[in-house]
Amino acid sequence: MENSSQQVQSKKKLKWIWWVVGIIILIVIIRISSNSEEEKSTSVQDNNPPIEQNQKNTENIIYELSGEAESISSNKIVVEGKTNLPNNSILDIVISRISIWEGENMERFFIVASDDAIVNNGNYRIELTIDDREFLEFEKVSDEIIKELNENVEVSVVFYPNKQPKNVVDMVGSNGQKLNSSPQKKVFGSATSNPANTLDIEFRTKLSFPFMNELPK
């Protein structure tokens, strides 16, 4: 009888021990699962920083442009350069003939080519075809005599914030607010209630005019 009582107590004690072991195992499993979820969450945050953080990292960037041009034929020119503007930024490229009319001293500019260049990994490059015939016809119609035709054309490279894709606008601002510290900044639409900062560089490169003998005299 005494042995039977001892056996019952022993079984109860063993059952209690198994319950304790089971609870401990359950706690361990819950902790492991919780740590795993925290690691995943941290990993996701590291790989995908919030937009606010991205924008904060761009606050101190001074955006700049560089450029050069080279004529590759009598009517073609290559314009290229470097910039720290974001990928997919759109740059307006404009080529102008430079002349001084009879009786004047100021330079006049006539656009003979224009197109957009796209920034890719800090670089841009574009080939443009020059339309000098249009310039020649304009001079004939205007009846103005050209006193001097510059042997160089002027190349203008401009970044307008209001014609950029969303990823670029998010970084520089819809009105180019982040361009404010750039030494190349110019203000576009300063006479309006909503002016915008632009980046603007101008330089000249030699490109001979093939129709000199046809200009009005």
Domain membership of residue 57 (yes or no) is no
Collapse the DSSP code of 155 into the 3-class scheme (helix H, G, I; strand E, B; otherwise coil) and give the result: strand
**pLDDT at residue 35, as a whole number:** 58
Q: What is the pLDDT of residue 84?
A: 96
115 and 167 together in one domain: yes
* Chain centroid, CA 121 distance in Å: 9
pLDDT at position 74 is 86
Report the C-alpha gap between 112 and 90 in whole angstroms: 20
Is the same domain home to 69 and 41?
no
Spatial distance between the Cα atoms of 164 and 139, rounded to a whole number of angstroms: 35
Beta strands in the chain (DSSP E): 68-73, 76-82, 90-101, 108-118, 123-129, 146-159, 185-188, 196-206
Residue 145 and residue 210 in one domain: yes
Same domain assignment for residues 10 and 36: yes
Classified as helix, coil or strand, 75 is coil
> Domain count of the chain?
2
Threshold 0.85, pTM exceeds? no
Q: What is the pLDDT of residue 32?
A: 63
Q: Can you give the pLDDT at residue 44?
A: 36
Q: Is 103 within the bounds of a domain? A: yes
Position 152 in a domain: yes
Look at residue 50 in the predicted model and tell me its pLDDT: 38
Distance of alpha carbon 10 from alpha carbon 7, whole angstroms: 5
Total number of residues shown for the chain: 217
* Residue 195 domain flag: yes
105 plus 132 within the same structural domain: yes
Q: Is residue 163 part of a domain?
A: yes
Q: Output the pLDDT for position 52.
A: 39
The answer to the question of residue 16 being in a domain is yes
Residues 39 and 100 in one domain: no
Considering the domain architecture, whether residues 71 and 44 belong to the same structural domain is answered as no
Amino acid at 180: N
Classified as helix, coil or strand, 120 is strand
Q: For residue 204, what are the contacts with CB-CB under 8 A and spacing of at least 6?
A: 98, 150, 152, 153, 154, 155
Residues 43 and 78 in one domain: no
107/135 same-domain check: yes
Same domain, 10 and 116: no
Other C-beta atoms closer than 10 Å to the C-beta of 124 total 24
Residues forming beta bridges with residue 93, ordered by sequence position? 115, 157
What pLDDT was estimated at residue 143? 83
What residues are paired with 80 via a beta bridge?
A: 68, 125
Please tell me whether residues 107 and 193 are part of one structural domain.
yes
Residue 43 CA, chain-centre distance (Å), reads: 28
If asked whether residues 79 and 41 sit together in one domain, one would say no
pLDDT in tens, the chain (217 residues): 544 555 545 555 555 565 555 666 666 566 666 655 555 444 434 443 333 334 445 567 899 999 999 999 989 999 999 999 999 999 999 999 999 999 999 999 999 999 999 999 999 999 999 999 999 999 889 888 999 999 999 999 999 999 999 999 999 999 999 999 999 999 988 888 889 999 999 999 999 999 999 988 8
Give, in degrees to the nearest 5, the angle at Cα 113 between 129 and 172.
115
Determine the pLDDT at residue 54: 43
**Residue 68: what pLDDT?**
97
Helix ranges (H only) for 48-177 are 51-57, 132-142, 166-172
Quick check: is 38 in a domain? yes
- Look up the domain containing 12 and give its range: 2-48
